[in-house]
Amino acid sequence: MLKIAKLSAGYADTQVLWDIDLYIKKGETVALIGSNGAGKSTLLESVIGLVKPKSGSILFDGKAVFGENINIPTRERVKIGMSLAPQGRHLFPDMTVEENIALGAFVEKDRLKIKEELEKMYELFPRVYERKNHPAGKLSGGEQQMVAIARALMSKPKLLMIDELSLGLAPVIVDVLIEIIHDISKSGTSLLVVEQDVQVALSVAKRAYVLETGRIVMEGKSEKLLNNPQIQSAYLGI
Ligand SMILES: Nc1ncnc2c1ncn2[C@@H]1O[C@H](COP(=O)(O)OP(=O)(O)OP(=O)(O)O)[C@@H](O)[C@H]1O
Ligand SMILES: [Mg+2]
């Protein structure tokens, strides 16, 4: 469903990503692990079209969204089924929770359909429903993360990407989010989750990639990675 090949990207004259190969099968949840500045956000932003890669290719659902002479705009990528819940969430703090979530439906014009989607989001996130008329900026970090994920789901993506799922959130909230990720996955959506906490990453995803200074240095089944001595010393402090 997603196939990234030999992707290189960066900003101005600094290269951040080098020869990235990554794939996600239909319905799969994949984690992307890596320390600060490794290039995780740059990779997600390249996939959704917010960063223009220097070379390589990105295939989504059999369609080239980036490649030689191809660079489909973000809006079109959302229309064909990609969505991103960005790092830092980028909510509008003075707008209500519901207004923030509804923004995610910008590709849908039918108000009735938007309302139906909102109802689905409230089923998935009951805590968010209780606060739907509050300004988003007044919510806790965990609730804001739920709003950001709900907003990203409003475009009914085939592939949902979440940048930093658990960063800065209390463990009880992280557990709730992990359950929600499993629910989203059960509904058939593929996921790419950036996560610095290896335990969390490997409990949401069966397969993971490790990114280090812009290169994929490891890839494989979650349990294999958890038992890997290099991962244990670099990320688990074992
Ligand atoms: N807009 C930008 N302009 C210039 N350099 C940037 C820009 N965004 C990121 N970088 C640089 O690219 C590198 C990778 O950043 P990126 O945000 O992709 O890493 P990350 O793995 O997501 O890090 P973090 O864990 O801190 O979110 C860093 O060295 C960063 O300083
Ligand atoms: Mg980042």
Ligand 1 within 6 A of CB of 44: no
% helix, strand, coil for the chain, step of 5: 40, 30, 30
User: Quick one: pLDDT at residue 226?
Assistant: 82
Quickly state the pLDDT bin for 233 (edges 50, 70, 90). Answer: confident
Phi-psi map region of 89: left, alpha, beta (phi>0 left; psi -120 to 50 alpha): left
Query: How many folded domains does the chain comprise?
Result: 2
Same-domain status, 16 and 68: yes
Same-domain status, 68 and 185: yes
Ligand 2 center–CA 32 separation, angstroms: 11
User: Quick one: pLDDT at residue 238?
Assistant: 63
Ligand 1 atom with minimal separation from the 39 CA: 18
For ligand 1, atom 4, the nearest C-alpha belongs to 11
Distance of CA 136 to the CA centre of its chain: 20
**Each residue's pLDDT tens digit, 68-100:** 999 999 999 999 999 999 999 999 999 999 999
Ligand of minimum distance to the alpha carbon of 197: 1
Ligand 1 pocket test, pick from 7, 8, 13, 16 with the greatest ligand atom count within 8 Å of Cβ, gives 16
Residues with CB under 5 A from ligand 2 (ion): 40-41, 87
Same-domain status, 114 and 71: no
CATH number of the domain enclosing 34: 3.40.50.300
Report the alpha-carbon angle 120-124-130, nearest 5: 90
Domain membership of residue 138 as a residue range: 89-156
Last residue of a domain, one of 136, 156, 176: 156
Ligand 1 atom with minimal separation from the 35 CA: 25
pLDDT average, residue stretch 198-221: 94
Ligand 1 within 6 A of CB of 172: no
Ligand 1 center–CA 143 separation, angstroms: 25
pTM of this structure: 0.95
Same-domain status, 163 and 144: no
Same-domain status, 47 and 94: no
SS3 for 161? strand
For ligand 1, atom 28, the nearest C-alpha belongs to 37
**Each residue's pLDDT tens digit, 22-64:** 999 999 999 999 989 999 999 999 999 999 999 999 999 999 9
For ligand 1, atom 16, the nearest C-alpha belongs to 39
Structure tokens at 181: 């990720």
Residue 235 has pLDDT above 90, yes or no: no
**Each residue's pLDDT tens digit, 98-153:** 999 999 998 888 999 999 999 999 999 999 999 999 999 999 999 999 999 999 99
